Structure formats: C-alpha cells, structure tokens
Amino acid sequence: MPKNDIPPIAASDVAVAFVLLTRLPLPALPDHAFARQARAAWAFPLVGLVVALLAGGLSWAALWLGLPAGVAAGLVLGAQILLTGAMHEDGLADTADGLWGGYTPDRRLEIMKDSAIGTYGVLALILSLGLRWAALTVLLPGGGIVALVAAATLSRAPLAMLMTALPPARGGGLSAGIGAPGWRASLTSLVIGAGLAWLAVGPMALILLALGLGATAALATLARAKIGGQTGDILGATQQVVEMMALLGALVMGT
C-alpha cells in the first residue's frame, strides 16, 4: 500500500494502544499491527476510559461496602497504577529528576534514563498522588466517577499532539522508536477525549480540556527548553499533570 494510502484509523489501533499504555492481558497481536504504533495514539483516550471505569468500579464497591472515601480514593489510585504498570508515574519521577537535576541537556537525559529515583522524583510523586488522592476523596462520594472518567480520557488525549509537535529528544528512546502520530491522529485523539469527557461531566469538559491543554503547552515549552524535545518520560509526566489538573478543576467546579 502506498504511504499516502495508509488509513488514518485501523481496528488494530485500539489493541495496540492498550498494549502500549496498560498491563492488561491481551491476545497476541500480529507484527504488522505494531507498525502503526504512532498512528494508534488516536486511541489513547479509549485506554483512559477503560482504566477509569475499572478503577471507578472498585471505588464504587468500596463505598457500597461502607469504606471511607479516603480508602476508596486510595484504591482508585492503586488500581490505576496496577493497570498501567506505573509507567506514567515513572515518567513523572524521571522527568522531575532530569529536568531539575541536570545542568545540560545531555546530563538531564542521562538522569532521566537512570532507573534510580532522586529527591525531585520522590517529591513529584508525593505531590501528584497526594493531590489526586485528596481530590478523589471529595469527589467520589458525590458520584465523582464521572470526574475520574473525564480526567483519565483528557489526560491521554494531548499525548499524540505532544509527540507530533516536539521532536524526540534522544535518538534511541522509546518515543523515537514509535515515531510521530501526525496532526490527523492528534486531532482525532483530542476530539475523542473531549467527547468522552463531555459525556461524563457535560460542558465542564471544555474547561477541563482547556486546563489540560494549558498544562501540556507548559510542559512542552519546558521540555523543549531543557532537553530539546520530548521523551517517553515527558509523555508520562504530561499524563500525570493533566489528570491532576482535571481532577482539581472538577473539584473546584463541582460535578
């Protein structure tokens, strides 16, 4: 098939997106499906939807059993971490360590690649988990599963755009290996994420989307200035920050 005839969306993209972003047990995919890893980024919000529904279902069961809202919120975060293999949390920690722990782009990338976690990474995780836990503790008893769905879908929607707008910061990284989704896939991802969020929380989704895009733009600017582009860690950090902003935004506006 000529390059220009490659379809923008394929049925296998959804499965590829789940392979890339979760640890869910999935049937083996044919090798040719992974040739579309970058284009499959349009389906990232669908991954967020499933992760949120599974984690939200656990919180509903916890509240139904009479457990405190704080426990239910902790279970939500734990479920999300298990479902995604903590890849986004790992990206946040590595990004914080690298961008603030090094003085040159090469040194920052070296720190980000190191599996050890430093002070900045620990503090970033504490703040991210703590703020999301606090927000969910308030939101969940009032039907906050819808806010969780909005946050999970919107936080994955801008990733394709970030992969397209910024070049890979290193030649041999995960992001470089996957490639750029392109603007069509990026727009599709944003539309799907915004649409799912609208179904969950209504017009509030537009405000949450604006918050998410603002956070994404800020991280993109920082990543370009500090390391010259994006990496898989930057993408993970973006997901975490946007999810946190969406939950805090929902907390401020109510659900």
Position 6 scores a pLDDT of 58
**pLDDT over threshold 60, residue 222:** yes
Mean pLDDT of 154-160: 97
State the pLDDT confidence band at 255, using cuts at 50, 70 and 90.
low
Buried b (16+ CB within 10 A) or exposed e, 48-82: bbbbbebbbebbeebbeeeeebeebbbbbbebbbe
Residue 65 has phi, psi (to 5 degrees) of -80, -5
DSSP notation for 14-30: HHHHHHHH-----PPPP
Average of per-residue pLDDT values in the chain: 91
Handedness of CA 171, 240, 204, 189 (dihedral sign): positive
**pLDDT over threshold 60, residue 1:** no
DSSP 3-state of 177? helix
Buried b (16+ CB within 10 A) or exposed e, 203-231: ebbeebbebbbebbeebbeebbebbbbbb
Mean pLDDT of 156-176: 85
DSSP state of 168: B
State the pLDDT confidence band at 2, using cuts at 50, 70 and 90.
very low
| pLDDT, tens digit, 9 for 90 and up, residues 51-69 | 999 999 999 999 999 999 9
Distance CA 144, CA 121 (A): 28
Question: Are the CB atoms for 11 and 42 separated by under 8 Å?
Answer: no
Give the closest residue to 197 by CA, choosing from 252, 138, 147, 249.
Answer: 147
DSSP 3-state of 84? helix
Mean pLDDT lowest among 18-22, 38-42, 69-73, 238-242: 38-42
- Residues paired with residue 168 on neighbouring β-strands, in sequence order: 230
**pLDDT over threshold 90, residue 3:** no
